[in-house]
């Protein structure tokens, strides 16, 4: 009834869609950095969309399955001899040795029935800065044993059509993985865009930014030319959002990611279209991105398109499980 | 005072909006913002996940996948604010709870006492007395879970932030800067001037009300001895 951690990898955490309703006391929603790959991983094992899965980051873990387990890994491609983006039955005692990411940065490992960790404030997501949620509020360590919520859920595998060698042939589409870099990310103007000098405004859009090594689940620091404002007046601290791009006095822009602070006192040059946050989350340190301005309406259209694409893929997978 | 009006609605991306009332800190405006945030929360709008009152306005965080999410969310957000204004202004001026926080101001915990006394030109022993005499309001929460920005500091104690932030400020540290005071809920980095420490746990996700402080709360600090601090910390 469990999965044993033989090697934890760089940063492996339990995540779900996050916890909402506490931003007014300073707690961000958190949850999966790439919610698209996360949702697909759950769909691939026949789970509800918000079941807890493992978020694997850049260097993967080695896991041992203590019973037959229906499992899927979705998102970034990692080295290792396990299938990507398709459900598979991991036999009792078998191991997944997940190596380095070769395309993208984050993958989600979902098991049928989900991981048996207690929800905290309505979510199973690990919130590392507060040390709560997920598995003991922390990243996985060597020797951890993650309980499964429903051992019988592996039987779902029998519903799927298989090839002669007993595997599933189809796979989920890698919606959020970069085909090539730099990736293009849409932004709308931030509240303080106009207060940046013309050179900085142009540089923000013309530069191929590189995700700096000191980036994490809270924010991505972007290496490139420093951005400045002619009148470097202090602004009143105010609310921020997932995807806000703020520029501290150092001039180095920071894109706020899943575990971001809920308020900030730095000017915000841009706000990333929510449809593109998941793709940005797939960049590892050194990954390249450039920004294109768009209207709020276009950002809304991109979000709807992305949602429909995901829902259609999830429906297709559910159909394989015989769900309408 | 004149009824505050929204200066504008600023999109925070396509999934949230900031309704700005003032670009500077105005305690009267903030009081209206607090009441307005509660009035909006009370309406339980299904496509709004979070209402965040801030120093000079409030943020509405949307659930854009909700079936009732409107085609023009900014217009709807502004309409919601305007409709909620009347009940908000009718609500009494003190929507939050009264909270008393015990603080030990003794030198062991008052890491920046000497510096504050020097900068503010106030005798060191007066810093704690002046701080504990104040009546504070939670103007905004942010930076970390349970971290409240409180207004109402004695203007005599208004000193700028430290020139170089501490890499780690101990959890529970009570600190001041400009005309505000804060309590650090976790051991995190920070640049405010530390004048004492509370034994209380500011944020505990396992509690039903995880945060000790909420927006709009009225806070008083009560001086305790080192012995009381140790006893209360052990009881937490």
We report the CATH number of the domain holding residue B66 as: 3.30.1360.40
The CATH number given to whatever domain includes residue B150 is 2.40.100.10
Residue B119: what pLDDT?
A: 92
Same domain, A100 and A64: yes
Residue B89 pLDDT: 86
Do B14 and B123 share a domain, yes or no?
A: no
| Bridging pattern class, strands A288-293 and A219-223 | unpaired
Q: State the pLDDT at residue A5.
A: 98
DSSP output for A65-108: ESS-EEEEEEEEEESSSS-SSS-EEEPTT-EEE--BEEEEEEEE
User: What is the pLDDT at residue B91?
Assistant: 76
Q: Give the whole-angstrom CA distance, residue A318 versus residue B159.
A: 60
Residue B47 shares a structural domain with residue B139: no
What does DSSP assign to residue B161?
Answer: P
Radius of gyration over every alpha carbon of chain A, rounded to an integer in angstroms: 20
A23 located within any domain: yes
Residue A274 and residue A140 in one domain: no
pLDDT confidence tier of residue B4, bands split at 50, 70 and 90: confident
Q: Please say if the pLDDT value at position A324 is more than 80.
A: no
| Cα atoms found within 13 Å of the Cα of residue B132, Cβ hemisphere only | 18
- The model's pTM: 0.95
ipTM of the complex: 0.95
* One domain, residues A161 and A72: yes
Nearest CA in chain A to B20: A238
Select the residue of B13, B58, B142 nearest A274 (Cβ to Cβ).
B13
Q: Which single residue is written with the structure tokens 């989600």?
A: A108
User: Are A47 and A124 in the same domain?
Assistant: yes
CA-based nearest residue to A131, from A220, A302, A13, A238: A13
Q: How close is the nearest chain B Cα to the Cα of A27, in Å?
A: 5
The pLDDT of residue A224 is: 97
Q: Which of residues 141-180 of B touch A (CB under 8 A)?
A: 141-149
How many structural domains comprise chain A?
Answer: 2
Q: Please give the share of chain A, as a percent, with pLDDT higher than 90.
A: 95
B162 and B198, same domain (yes or no): yes
Reported confidence tier of residue A323, pLDDT bands at 50, 70, 90:
confident
Quick: pLDDT tens for B80-89.
999 999 888 8
In a domain, A90, yes or no: yes
Report the percentage of chain B scoring pLDDT > 70: 98
Please check the confidence at residue A205 and state whether its pLDDT lies above 90. Answer: yes
B60, HSE (Cβ side, Cα atoms, 13 Å) = 33
Question: B51, A242: Cβ pair inside 8 Å?
Answer: no
What is the pLDDT at residue B2?
66
Range of the domain at A47: 2-166
Q: pLDDT band at residue A255, thresholds of 50, 70 and 90? A: very high
Grade residue B93 by pLDDT with cuts at 50, 70 and 90.
low
For the domain that residue A265 is a member of, what is the CATH number? 2.40.100.10
For residue B112, being part of any structural domain is answered with yes
Q: What is the residue range of B141's domain?
A: 98-235
| The pair of three-digit structure tokens given for residue A73, joined into one six-digit string | 């890994």
Cβ distance B15 to A274 less than 8 Å, yes or no, reads yes
Q: Are residues A189 and A159 in the same domain?
A: no
Domain C-terminal end among B58, B90, B122 = B90
**pLDDT of A165 higher than 70:** yes
Do B108 and B195 reside in the same domain of the chain?
yes
Same domain for B119 and B75? no
User: What's the pLDDT tens digit per position in A296-307?
Assistant: 999 999 999 999
Each residue of B96-138: pLDDT tens digit?
899 999 999 999 999 999 999 999 999 998 999 999 999 999 9
* Boundary residue ending a domain (B71, B90, B109): B90
Interface of A with B (CB under 8 A): 20-27, 29, 120-121, 127, 129-130, 132-133, 188, 191, 235-244, 261-264, 271-274, 296, 299-300, 303, 307
Count other C-beta atoms under 10 Å from residue B221's C-beta.
Answer: 25
Domain co-membership, B25 together with B105 = no
The chain-wide mean pLDDT, for chain A, equals: 96
Residue in the structure block whose two tokens are 């006492």 = B113
Q: What is the mean pLDDT of chain B?
A: 94
Shared domain for B104 and B30, answered yes or no, is: no
Has residue B3 been placed in a domain? no
Q: Verify that B118 and B170 share a domain, yes or no.
A: yes
Other CB atoms within 10 Å distance of the CB of residue A231: 6
Per-residue pLDDT at A81: 87
Identify the CA nearest to B81 among candidates B28, B21, B29, B31.
B21
A151, A188: one domain:
no
B213/A296 CB distance under 8 A = no
Residues A219 and A252 in one domain: yes
- Looking at the structure, do residues B108 and B220 belong to the same domain, yes or no? yes
Statement: residue B1 has pLDDT above 60? no
State the pLDDT confidence band at A1, using cuts at 50, 70 and 90.
Answer: confident
CA angle B101–B233–A22, rounded 5-degree value: 60
A160, A320 contact by CB (below 8 A): yes
| pLDDT (tens digit per residue) in B26-81 | 999 999 999 999 999 999 999 999 999 999 999 999 999 999 999 999 999 999 99
How many domains is chain B built from? 2
Mean pLDDT over residues A225-253, rounded? 92
Report if residue B1 sits inside a domain.
no
Boundary (domain end) residue, out of B90, B107, B141: B90
Same domain, A23 and A140: yes
Q: What is the pLDDT of residue B165?
A: 87
């Amino acid at each position: 009834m469990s999965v044993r951690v033989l090697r934890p990898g760089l940063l492996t955490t339990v995540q779900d869609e996050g916890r909402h309703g506490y931003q007014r006391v300073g707690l961000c929603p958190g949850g999966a950095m790439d919610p698209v790959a996360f949702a697909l991983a759950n769909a691939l094992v026949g789970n509800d969309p918000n079941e807890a899965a493992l978020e694997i980051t850049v260097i993967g873990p080695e896991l041992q399955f203590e019973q037959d387990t229906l499992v899927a890994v979705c998102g970034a491609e990692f080295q290792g001899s396990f299938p990507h983006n398709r459900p598979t039955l991991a036999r009792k005692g078998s191991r997944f040795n997940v190596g380095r990411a070769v395309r993208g940065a984050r993958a989600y490992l979902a098991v049928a029935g989900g991981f048996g960790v207690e929800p905290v404030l309505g979510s199973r997501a690990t919130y590392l800065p507060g040390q709560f949620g997920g598995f003991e509020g922390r990243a996985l360590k060597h020797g951890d044993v993650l309980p499964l919520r429903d051992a019988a859920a592996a039987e779902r595998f029998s519903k799927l059509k298989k090839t002669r060698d007993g595997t599933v042939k189809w796979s989920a589409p890698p919606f959020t993985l970069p085909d090539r870099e730099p990736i293009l990310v849409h932004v709308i103007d931030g509240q303080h865009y106009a207060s940046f000098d013309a050179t900085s405004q142009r540089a923000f859009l013309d530069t191929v930014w590189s995700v700096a090594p000191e980036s994490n689940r809270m924010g991505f620091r972007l290496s490139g030319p420093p951005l400045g404002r002619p009148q470097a007046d202090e602004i009143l601290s105010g609310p921020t959002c997932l995807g806000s791009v703020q520029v501290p006095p150092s001039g180095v822009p920071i894109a706020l990611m899943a575990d971001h602070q809920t308020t900030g006192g730095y000017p915000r040059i841009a706000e990333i279209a929510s449809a593109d946050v998941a793709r940005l989350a797939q960049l590892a340190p050194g990954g390249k991105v450039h920004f294109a301005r768009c209207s709020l309406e276009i950002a809304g259209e991109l979000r709807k398109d992305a949602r429909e694409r995901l829902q259609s893929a999830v429906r297709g997978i559910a159909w394989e499980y015989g769900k309408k | 005072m004149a009824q505050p009006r929204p200066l504008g609605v600023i999109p925070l991306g396509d999934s949230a909006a900031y309704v700005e009332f003032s670009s500077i800190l105005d305690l009267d405006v903030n009081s209206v913002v607090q009441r307005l945030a509660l009035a909006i929360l009370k309406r339980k709008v299904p496509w709004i996940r979070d209402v965040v009152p801030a120093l000079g306005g409030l943020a509405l965080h949307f659930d854009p996948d909700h079936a009732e999410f409107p085609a023009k969310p900014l217009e709807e957000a502004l309409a919601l604010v305007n409709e909620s204004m009347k009940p908000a202004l009718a609500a009494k001026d003190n929507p939050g709870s009264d909270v008393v926080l015990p603080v030990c101001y003794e030198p062991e915990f008052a890491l920046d006492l000497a510096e504050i006394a020097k900068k503010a030109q106030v005798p060191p022993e007066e810093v704690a007395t002046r701080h504990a005499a104040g009546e504070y309001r939670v103007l905004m929460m942010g930076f970390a879970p349970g971290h409240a920005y409180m207004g109402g500091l004695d203007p005599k104690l208004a000193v700028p932030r430290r020139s170089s932030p501490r890499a780690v400020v101990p959890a529970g540290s009570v600190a001041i800067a400009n005309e505000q005071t804060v309590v650090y809920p976790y051991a995190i980095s920070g640049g405010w001037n530390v004048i004492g420490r509370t034994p209380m746990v500011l944020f505990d996700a396992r509690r039903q009300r995880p945060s000790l402080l909420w927006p709009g709360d009225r806070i008083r600090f009560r001086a305790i001895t080192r012995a009381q601090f140790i006893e209360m910390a052990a009881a937490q």
